[in-house]
Amino acid sequence: MPTLKKQLVSLAERILGVKILRPHSLEPPALMERFESEHLRKLFNYFQVDCVFDVGANAGQYFERIRAHGFHGPIVSFEPIPELASALGRRAKEDGNLFVEQIALDKGAGPRTFNVMAVSQFSSLHMPNNVASGGGNSIVRTLTVEAQTLDKIFQKWKETLGFKRPFLKLDTQGHDLAVIEGGQGVLPYFIGVQTELSARPIYNGVPTYREVLDFYDAHGFQLSAIVMNADHFPDLFEMDAILLRTK
């Protein structure tokens, strides 16, 4: 139940017709997150998205965000780190419409060496190149994980959930395009895609943002929004592209 303070703020917003923001909400990272969440909310409603594939779910940050902004449909989360996948599994029991796959997605199937970083959100199938400062993407351990292709796993969940207008979110730290290369057969079924773009790659062997955008353009997707990563001011390392299928 909302606190009395939140209830009063909500009442004031309705009476005055304004949105009351806390000071930290005006900082660039908070503004970018707010823009992203609002854009996704409108997009999901407008295009009647009925399932989200959350590839690179980590601790469930994306799940939390889209649930908080009104998406109540099924979410299929893919996370190869065992302890994070187990935690998501527990949350899935509470949510009732969250499904968890403890696998990595790649352009081919089979075992892979997965790098777990000091900050788990930076964990990747790629090796870090130490471009970014702070040490968050330094390797603390490696795991052997099972990889599957999006082409293979998609049909399983389509038959299970019966969705018709799915959306694909990718956050695999440099591996997004490889995931799509393993899903070209099912890519046309997705209403839209959210993917990372690297302005200054922090991993080895990562395609440039131009290569990624050219790929999607060639496969019938156009830009709907760009969300900048504002945590590295004044540098720009990564940004997210939200793309919509046009054909």
What confidence tens digit (pLDDT) does each residue in 48-58 have? Answer: 999 999 999 99
State the alpha helices, DSSP H only, in the chain. Answer: 4-16, 28-46, 61-68, 82-95, 150-161, 176-181, 209-218
* Residues in the chain with pLDDT values less than 70: 1-31, 131-135, 230-233
Q: How far is CA 49 from the centre of its chain?
A: 15
Per-residue pLDDT of 155-185, as tens digits, reads 999 999 999 999 999 999 999 999 999 999 9
> Residue with structure tokens 């990563």?
229
Q: Cα separation of 171 and 138, whole Å? A: 18
Q: What is the pLDDT of residue 1?
A: 47
Nearest to 52 by CA among 35, 32, 22, 74: 74
Determine whether 241 is exposed, middle or buried from the number of CB atoms within 10 Å of its CB (0-12, 13-18, 19+). buried
**Distances in Å between the alpha carbon of 224 and those of 36, 89, 227, 237?**
11, 32, 10, 20
Q: Delineate the domains of the chain, giving CATH numbers in brackets.
A: 27-104+150-234 (3.40.50.150)
For residue 153 the two structure tokens come to: 């796993």
